[in-house]
Structures are given as structure tokens and as C-alpha cells.
Structure 1
Amino acid sequence: MAKIAYILLCHKDPAGIIAQAERLTAAGDCIAIHFDARAKTSDYDQIRSALKDNPSVVFAKKRLKCGWGEWSLVGATLQAVRAAVDAFPRATHFYMLSGDCMPIKSAEYAHAFLEREDVDYIESFDFFRSDWIKTGIREERLIYRHWFNERSNKAWFYRSMEWQRRLGLDRRIPADLAMQIGSQWWCLRRRTVEAILDFIRRRRDVMRFFRTTWIPDETFFQTITRHLVPENEIRSRTLTFLMFTDYGMPVTFYNDHYDLLLSQDYLFARKISPDAAELKQRLGDLYAVRGRRFRISDEGRSLFRFLSGRGRVGRRFAPRFWETETSLGRERTLMMVTCKKWHVAKRLVERVRNVTGLPAVDYLFNEAGTPLPDLGGIQSTLEKRTRHRRALVRMLYDYWNTDRLVFCIDPASIDLMQDFYNDKAQVRLLEIDCEFTDDYLIGHAKRVGLAGEGSPPETLARLLPTIRYDVKFESDRLRENNFPGFCRIRQSATPEENAKPLAAFLGVPEAQAHEIAATSYLFVD
């Protein structure tokens, strides 16, 4: 049975590193951590203290100061690999991770995936013939010795290379090595890792060569693995999903990429945005799940190329394109009723149900207790309803076998309204404009926790103008969005005046709309 020893290189976010280690080891795997010696000692101490009693965690015996493109990254990896090999004799695979990586499959899925084939997963393409390097120097990475960092000491980096070129100090690549290049995020079998460690103990000439190459983390393991392992035991790919822009910068994933990431044929993904707290939580929970089936479409890179290409010619794509619930359907009509006085909106939709027979739901995304049919659990919490809003609404259409649906929504939920208006369905919005007495606004402040039963009258008097302004601001914002199909009825208007916009909103005869608008108790507090 597969047991993974994760090789984690990190330099920040001690709380995130601790959570990652606990998450991965809780599923039966183990982890070796190298924490950059340039980072804060207090952060390192925090990580060691939190994980010291976890037998599935080990730390590199020596911490190196790491720099992008330098040998130190390979050196740090080897430190962690040696610690993992010694500490975890039952580990069958060694998987490179960074602090920006998160699982996009369950541990159960990952183990079954690795057991499927007895192979190594590492990108390794011919260094000189492939087009893996998009920008910058190529053979100069190898044939010249690099003692300076191009990012931190650019002048000396290029000056040194130019002096070597003028003096004819270019060097030969070790004759028996066929140089390879690829992603540094690999997953190797135990026997491959042990063979690499034995090889570098014997071949000091190879170590001397790589120590002064530029960006050796993209060539060292890739070249030696190809040198030691038969080609039919290598899959030239990474199991970590990552994408790069045309400028060689990594693409960052955010909260609304969850569905996209799960459908890719990979086990982990990087880089996850530090601000994507919801995505990190969901992916972290996913790793421990059992029995989860994943539908692999693997369209991430082609989608990114398509959408970024549209952006370059000024063509916009809709928010949350990556979500699986992309459309309600062109033939469907969605009608949203918005009102700050929830009881008024509920009375209106109740009358709509009784008079027209249209399926109508109360505050679907704002009130947990809204009565709903059993839809397999998607309706169980407000978080689930909001996260899968289009899928939920589609299921309500199907449940009632209808193409027309009404639901209530709070005026503050402008982002949800905008999202539904981005759909292909025909969307309409009805605002119910109510009058707000001081007593009602004070009661509202107490209901939402802005004031308590013991709040002094002076405090309430100062609070009232702010609350009244907030209510007016939400109403103004609705009109400023210029939503198509926007209608408005008013408490101060007569039933005859309200019947016309209500008929346009519902798409019913004016007589039916008048019957609804004439409800005597509609606006009663």
C-alpha cells in the first residue's frame, strides 16, 4: 500500500505549515520539513513546538539559506529527503511540496493513484531540444559557473558570465549525462530516491557541476532520474497542477477555482492565494474524505489559454466561469423580490403562490429556516446554498417542473443579484419600497445585534440616521446597477398604481396583479 513522505520546502506562514503537516499526517502519510534559514527563528520555533509530538513529522537536520535559482534549493531538498528516508522506512513515495500547495484530491484517491503504476512522476524533457524554457538564457545556465544570484545581484551575474565567455572558460557537461529539464514538483519511488542518494555520494564531479549551474532545481533531479531509471518507468509529468502566464509567472488560484481544480488530473495544486481562506479550508477538508468520486475533465490549461486570450483583445468573461453550475438555462425566467422588511416580501410571494400558482420561495440565501424540498443536502445550510447557488436554483426548477421561479433576496445581497444577472436566463428584479418608522428601525437594530434591550435612548438616537441611510443606500444601489427588468412597487402607492409594475414583473394579467397588490395586510408591521 502506498505511503507518501512529503518533502516540504517553506519559508513563511507557520500556522499554514502546521495545518498542512497535521492534515497530511492525519491521513496516514508523513512529512519532512525544511524551513528556510533566512526566515524568522521565532516562526521555525513555533512550527517545531507545535509538531514536536507528531511521530510522522521530521525536520531537516541542517537549514540552508535559500535563494531563487540557486543550488541552495536543491541542497535544502536533499536535506529534507535524507531526513525522510532515515525517519520513514515504510514510505513508498516521496512527493515534493511547497507551502503554497494544497491537495485537490483525497488521500484515498492519491494512494490508489500511486498504486496503479510502479513508476516515477517527474517532468524531464531534453534540455537543448525542448521549448520548456520560454524566456532568458538557456545553455548559459550550464556551461558557465554561476556564483551570483540574477535576481539579487543582476550586474555581477551578467558581468561574471560575460568574463567567462571572453576568457573561454565555458565548461563541459559530464559526458555520461543527458541534460533534462522540467518542473521541480516531482513524486519519486523510494528505490529511485535511494538510488539518487547513492549516485551523488559516488559522483562528486556531478555535484560540483550542478552546484554552480543556474536554476538547478529544474535540472538536477530531472537529469539524474533519467540517468538511473529506465524510460518505461518514468511518466514525464508532474502530479501538481500549476500554470504559468506568457511572462513565466505562476497563475494563482482563488476561492472560485474549487470546481476547476477538482476536475484536473492531478493530486495537488499551486499556487493557492494566501487570501483564498475558503478555498484552503475546502481543499484541506477534502484530503480526509473517504469514498469521494472525482470526475476528471482536465481542461484547466485550455480554459486558461482561451480566457486569457479573450482578455488580450478586450473581450470580457463572466465572473466565476470556473464554477460547475454555469447556467440556469436560456429558456427559464428567474424573478427576485427584494425588500428590507422580510415579512412584507414573504406575504407578497405567498399571495403570488396562491393567486398565480407560480412556485415562489422565501429568503433562499438569507434565512436558514426557509422551507425547501429535500434536494440531496445542497439546501441544508446557507453556506451550501450560496456556494452552489445556480445548481440549487436549477434543482428547484426541476423539482417543480417549471421554467418560472420566484424567490426573495435581501437588498444587501447585491453580489448574488449581479451573479444571477450574468446568467443566460431571463432575470427580473422587483423592489418593494417600504416606509420605515423610527420604532421599526430600532427593532431592526436590535434584531441584527446593533443595539440591545438596554441600549440608552441617546445611543439609539445617534444610531437611527446611520441605519436609515444604510437602508436608503441599498435601495439607491439597486437602481444604480440599471438591472434589466427592474420593477418597483411602493407602500405609499395605491393597489392600482402597484398592479402595473407587478404585472410586468410576474408576466401575469394586470387583474391578477391587482388582486395581489390589493392585499390588505401586505405592508402591516
Structure 2
Amino acid sequence: MARIAFILLCHKDPKGVIAQARRLAASGDYVSIHFDARANPRDYEQIRGALGGNPSVTFVQRRWKCGWGEWSLVAATLEAVRAAIVAFPQATHFYMLSGDCMPIKSAEYAHAFLDAEDCDYIESFDFFESGWIKTGFKEERLIYRHWFNERTQKWLFYTSYNLQKRFGLTRKVPADIQVMIGSQWWCLRRQTVEKVLEFCANRPDVMRFFATTWIPDETFFQTIVPHVVPGKEIRARTLTYLIFTDYGMPVTFYNDHYDLLMGQNYLFARKISPEAIRLRERLGALWTAKDVHFPISNEATGLFRFLTGRGRVGRRFGQRFWEAEGSLGRSNTLLLVASKKWHVAKRLTASIRQHTKIPAVDFAFNELEAGLPDLGGVETTVEKRHRHRRALIRLLFQHFESNRLILCLDPSELYLIQDLTSDKADTRVLMIDSQFDDDYLRGHIARVGLAGAETAPGVVDRLLPLVRADLEHEAERLRDMEFAAFHAIAPWRSAEENAAQLARFLEVPARTALMLARTPDLFSD
């Protein structure tokens, strides 16, 4: 059975550290503690006094003064790993934790999970190609030497960097390693950790290189592990669940996140708020529980993005310069059908194709299988269609040999609708209003990944009013754009009222429009 040596890096909350170490050790596992040398000495004395006699807990020989972005974080981790290797010969796995982490599965589950597959868990993506770094320094992290802390010694940090840049004082990455990047929260097998330590002893050149890179805790282990272990034995993921905001800050979890965290396919989570006393108590008890079933839904990340994205002020829907690929043509008429219920829009376009000669394409910018003709490759992916939207639409006009074309769009594609209505072509918008009952909303929640089959019903019920408000808000945003040619049909209007809107939108005779409005089961779910 797997026995885990937890590598615990911490700098505060001595009572929490003591409770965490005791809890982890009580399950038959081990804990190696590095407590930041910058922290209050009395806090460290308290931890040593409480845990010093526990045979399942060890302490590093040398404590480092740790700083964000510094080599000291890697050095502290290596100290804790070395201490654990010596103190716990029966440990099979080494798991990185911080004082802000808590278990979201039981020890029983964690041991069975690690026993199931002989592999290492560490995010390890190509430094230059992966896009893991979104903003700020990238290559500069490596080719320049960083001796100062960017947060506490800002002037020294940037003065040193600017001088090196000015005089061309760059350096090369060691020739035989491929720099990788990822989260610092890993879980490695004993044999892997031993190989990493052997590598450290034999390669002082690589150690010197990483000692002056910036934020090496995101690159050191992530680079060395795939250098000493075959790729087939590495799973490029972390077993610790964490979410980052769009400002690059980790999301903090509170008392009402218990069910959500249990449903994630991870063993631990960070950051748990120190003030979330009830959550900490429940997660602490969870670690020692037996025979617990964990329904995995993995909805937390999607739910977070949905909730934080609702109603955000300042979203930009204007045209970017790279999106302007020429006009669709003044003589052409583009007819945009916006509908949240895609099946309703498809029924309408099928009826339009049957009763008129206007070509119609269903959700080309939302669905891969949109029934598009061969257009020379621009149609092969949804991403390509978005990127070359005007070229795609011009090709469709040519393919159908028509100066009129209907396209279906999801109302959430507001930036795309606005972009197309700003064109020189005659562009009109038809909004298909919808009613959203609870059954439809539950299906929508499942389709967009906000909840899974194993999600607790209570979670879904709490989402219903939020999702309903979001869908209604999409329709209101379309109306607020005040398009010059905007029309709308709805299931609560009479066929005659809807026909009048369709006649103006399509420029078809009233009789034809009425036939379209009376399409059988047009608005049915």
C-alpha cells in the first residue's frame, strides 16, 4: 500500500500546521516540515515542541528564508525531501503541500488512487511552446540572472535586469535539458525523488542555472523529473486542486465549498481560508473517514468561470484590427438568427429552406458539424471559422450563388454579432425569444459542463436561478445593442405577430412568412 511522505512548506499558523501534521501522520503517513526561517521563532518553537516526539514527523536540518519567485523555495523543498528520504525509508510517495492545503478525499481513497498506477504526478509543459505563462517575463526568466526579490527589492531586481539587457549579458540554458514549466504542487514516487537528488548532486551547472532563474519553483522539478524519468511514467497534472483568478491570484475556498471540493478529481485543495473553520473541520474529519463514496463531477472550475464572468462591466465587443478581413459586400444581405435553443433555430431554418430559396447555415460558429461545404480548409475547425469569419461568409455567398444568406448564432456570441452588423453588407438580426423551464436549465447546465451526472441535486438547484438570469441577460444585451434591423419572434406571440416579424426580416410575402411561423412544433423542446 502507498505510504506518503508529505513535504510541508509553511510560514504561519502554528496551530494549523500542528493539526495538519498530526492528521496526516495518524493515517500511517509521514510529514517533513520546512517552516520559513523568516517567520516568528516562537511559532517554530511551538511546532517543534508539539511534534518533536512524533516518529512520523521530521524537520529539515537547514531552514531557508523564503521569498516569492526565489530559489529559496526550491532549496527549502529539497531540504524537506532530503530529510524525508532519510527519516522515512518506508515512504513510497512524496507529496508537496503548503500550510493552506487540506484534503478533499479520505486517506483510504488517496492510498488506493496512488496504488492504482505506477507513475508520477507533476505538471510538466514545454516552457516556450505551451503558453503556460500568459503575461510578463518569459524567456527573460531564464537568459538573465536574477539575484533579487522582485516584490521586496523591486528597484534592485529591475536595475539588475535592465543592466544585463543593456550590455547583452545573457546566458544559455544548459544544452542537454529541456526547460519545462508547471505547478509546484507535485506527487512523486520514491525512486523518482532519489533520481532527482542524484541529479542535483551530479549536475552543479544545472543547480547554478536554476539558482538564479526567476520563479524556479515553477520550472526546477518540472524540468528535472522528465529528464530522469521516462515520459510514459509521468502524468502531467497535479493532484492538488487550485483555481487562479484572471488576475493570477489563487482562489480561496470557504465553508460553503465542501460539496464542490469533494466532487473534484483531486486529493487535496488550496487555498483553504484560515477563517473557514467549519470547512477545515469537515475536511480534516474526511481524511480519516472510511468507505466514503466520492462522486466526481469536476464542475468547480467551469462554475467559477461562469459565476465570475456574469455581468462583468467593461467587456469589449468591438472589432479587433486582425478581425477586419474585408467587407462582405454592399450588395449582399446577411441574415443572423440568434437563438439559445438551437433546435428551435434549426427547425426554422429547415422550414425556410423548404419554403424559400434563401440558403441557411446552422451554427457554423458554434458547432463543428454544421453541414458546411468544402471551402478550401477554412471550414475545418470552429476556431478557423472564427478567425477568418468574413472570408468564410464570402465563400458561402459564392458557394450558394446567392446575395442572401442565413446564419444561426448563439446569443452569447455578441461580439461576433456586433462585428458582422458593423459590416457594409445589409445585416439583419432575428432574435428567437425562449422560455426556460427548470428541466431545460438542468439540461443546459449539464451540456455546458457546470455540473455532471454525479453532482449533488442541491448544487444544481442553487444554479438554476443564476443560469436563468444569465440566459435572460444575454437576450437583453442583444436588445440593448439597438441594431438598425432587429426583429424578434417568441412562443408567447401569435402566429400572425411572428409572421409579420419574419416577413420584414426575410423580405418574403406575408403568406410565406405565415407558413414559416406555423412550422409544426417550432418552439417545442
Q: TM-score range by the shorter chain?
A: 0.5 to 0.7
2:288 corresponding residue in structure 1: 288
- Classify 1:41/1:113 alpha carbon distance in 2 versus 1 (closer, same or farther; 3 Å): same
Where has structure 1 moved over 4 Å in runs of 4 or more? 419-424
1:237 corresponding residue in structure 2: 237
Residues 63-109 of structure 1: CA deviation (Å, up to 9, x unaligned): 11000000000000000000000000000000000000000000000
Contact map agreement 1:70 1:149 (CA 8 A) in 2: yes
Contact map agreement 1:261 1:269 (CA 8 A) in 2: yes
Contact map agreement 2:182 2:218 (CA 8 A) in 1: yes
1:353 corresponding residue in structure 2: none
- Structure 2 distance, partners of 1:222, 1:330, is 46
> Is 2:106 the partner of 1:106?
yes
1:95 corresponding residue in structure 2: 95
Contact map agreement 2:438 2:464 (CA 8 A) in 1: no
- Structure 2 distance, partners of 1:420, 1:301, is 14
- Structure 1 distance, partners of 2:311, 2:154, is 33
- Structure 1 distance, partners of 2:438, 2:302, is 25
Shift of 1:6: 0.1
- Structure 2 distance, partners of 1:61, 1:280, is 30
Superposed CA RMSD in Å reads 2.4
1:68 corresponding residue in structure 2: 68
2:141 corresponding residue in structure 1: 141
1:189 corresponding residue in structure 2: 189
Shift of 1:158: 1.2
- Structure 1 distance, partners of 2:246, 2:261, is 21
> Is 2:274 the partner of 1:271?
no
> Is 2:57 the partner of 1:57?
yes
Contact map agreement 1:32 1:80 (CA 8 A) in 2: yes
Alignment of structure 1 residues 308-347 onto 2, 5 Å: 308-313=308-313
- Structure 2 distance, partners of 1:95, 1:311, is 39
1:152 corresponding residue in structure 2: 152
1:204 corresponding residue in structure 2: 204
Shift of 1:210: 0.5
- Aligned residue type for 1:126: D
- Gaps of at least 5 residues in structure 2 are 316-436, 440-455, 468-525
> Is 2:234 the partner of 1:223?
no
- Structure 1 distance, partners of 2:463, 2:249, is 33
Greater Cα radius of gyration, structure 1 or 2: 1
Question: SS where residue 312 of structure 1 aligns?
Answer: coil
Alignment of structure 1 residues 308-387 onto 2, 5 Å: 308-313=308-313
2:511 corresponding residue in structure 1: none
1:12 corresponding residue in structure 2: 12
> Is 2:165 the partner of 1:165?
yes
Count of matched residue positions in the alignment of Structure 1 and Structure 2? 330
- Classify 1:98/1:420 alpha carbon distance in 2 versus 1 (closer, same or farther; 3 Å): closer
1:33 corresponding residue in structure 2: 33
- Structure 2 distance, partners of 1:314, 1:288, is 47
- Aligned residue type for 2:145: R
- Structure 2 distance, partners of 1:223, 1:243, is 23
Question: SS where residue 68 of structure 1 aligns?
Answer: coil
Give percent identity, aligned residues only: 69
Contact map agreement 2:119 2:189 (CA 8 A) in 1: yes
- Structure 1 distance, partners of 2:284, 2:222, is 29
- Structure 2 distance, partners of 1:423, 1:103, is 29
> Is 2:120 the partner of 1:120?
yes
Shift of 1:167: 1.2
Question: SS where residue 6 of structure 1 aligns?
Answer: strand
1:82 corresponding residue in structure 2: 82
Shift of 1:311: 4.2
> Is 2:297 the partner of 1:297?
yes
- Classify 1:420/1:101 alpha carbon distance in 2 versus 1 (closer, same or farther; 3 Å): closer
- Structure 1 distance, partners of 2:213, 2:273, is 30
Residues 109-141 of structure 1: CA deviation (Å, up to 9, x unaligned): 000000111000000000001111122100100
